[in-house]
Amino acid sequence: MTASLTRRVVLASAAPLMALVIAVVLSSIVLLVSGSNPLEAYVDMIGHASKLETQVDILNRATPLYLSGVAAAIGFRMNLFNIGVEGQYLLAFLVAAHLGAQVELPAVLHVTFIMVVAMAVGGAFSGAAGVLKVTRGVNEVISTIMLNAVAISGLAAWLIVEWQAGGEISATGGRVGTQPIAASGLLSDINGLVETFTREITQGKKLTGVLLIAIAVGVLYNVGLNRTVFGFDLRASGANPFASHAGGVSPKRMVVTAMTLSGMVAGLVGMTELMNTGFYPSNPIAGLGFAGIAVALLGRNHPVGVALAALIFSFLDVSSGILQISGAASREIVVIMGGVIILTAVIAYEVMRRIREREEATAAAEAMAIDTGAAR
């Protein structure tokens, strides 16, 4: 029993480890060719990441990445590609920031209101792609790509001008973002929670409270998917829509539900930034949606795996900042590393899957041979 468990763990972690090793080797080659010392760069990065303040930064960065990864993973479990997380979270961020600034509520209610608005906007926008798929047969990959553009270059570009703090600003005035949300609408940082275990966090770094929400989402995702009837239906419908339809699960309903849930989680991605700054800036952090797809792939849609993947990517992102200061290498090397990790990881997973399938087939064939041998 333990032997098979160890074996499973080894098999499951072999692929991502392999991907990491290949990524490090390839990046080292790139660094060597460009005339930098890879070892020095890695030592700098790891040394930087071992500081508590950097770790706070890494967690702050990993939080939205994780939420974005879970959003993509919900779709993947149902064989749906929600490429539209990018547009969903930016639009949800903007609407939540605006509406959050318009109301005055007691603290807990205010934060809840903002979160609910963000989830509703993300869910509605993503659900629309689901509805298009089941009613008009529009592939969700294409429709979410198109809806991304509609959300970012269209709706968000329009609304940010309409909702600017201080009304419409002249062309020379520049864009300033939405009105700030009152203090009651912001989640406080959770430095205190961490400081009970560690030393005091200095340099004014704040660990985002959204981290707790992200953890809750991860737990809900795990329980909902693996421990409820709904989760079973979702996975079954994704694996074989015809069979589960025969079992009484409407594939159409599942598609719309999965897309909506995915969009709801996507809506929370922008909350880390909103809870920190209190408004939607003219240039919000972009690209988290696409990064989330990568995170979900690397983490194999598993709640813990996605968390690890989010941490790896945010480690690369944050700790590379030191390279700029130390001058050991160009910090852009981590972007290449991230890309190589993803590409090699998906290839390694596929290879592993095939190895496992072959082993299972051999094992089954052996069992059959023994069976027939015994019967004779």
- Residue numbers of the site for other proteins (CB under 8 A)? 30, 34, 81, 83, 132, 136-138, 141-143, 145-150, 153-154, 157-158, 161, 290-291, 293-294, 297, 330-333, 335-336, 338-340, 342-343, 346-347, 350-351, 354
Tokens of 23: 């990524």
CA-CA distance, 55 to 138, in Å (whole number)?
43
Q: How far is the CB of 336 from other proteins (least distance, A)?
A: 5
Q: How far is the CB of 287 from other proteins (least distance, A)?
A: 9
CA-CA distance, 279 to 271, in Å (whole number)?
10
Q: How far is the CB of 70 from other proteins (least distance, A)?
A: 16
The residue (of 140 and 189) whose beta carbon lies closer to other proteins is: 140
Q: How far is the CB of 137 from other proteins (least distance, A)?
A: 4
Tokens of 353: 């899957």
The residue (of 207 and 337) whose beta carbon lies closer to other proteins is: 337
Q: How far is the CB of 289 from other proteins (least distance, A)?
A: 11
Q: How far is the CB of 83 from other proteins (least distance, A)?
A: 7
Q: How far is the CB of 161 from other proteins (least distance, A)?
A: 8
The residue (of 110 and 331) whose beta carbon lies closer to other proteins is: 331
CA-CA distance, 201 to 249, in Å (whole number)?
51
The residue (of 76 and 275) whose beta carbon lies closer to other proteins is: 76
The residue (of 174 and 373) whose beta carbon lies closer to other proteins is: 174
The residue (of 192 and 339) whose beta carbon lies closer to other proteins is: 339
The residue (of 26 and 182) whose beta carbon lies closer to other proteins is: 26
Q: Which residue has the tokens 């239906």?
A: 233
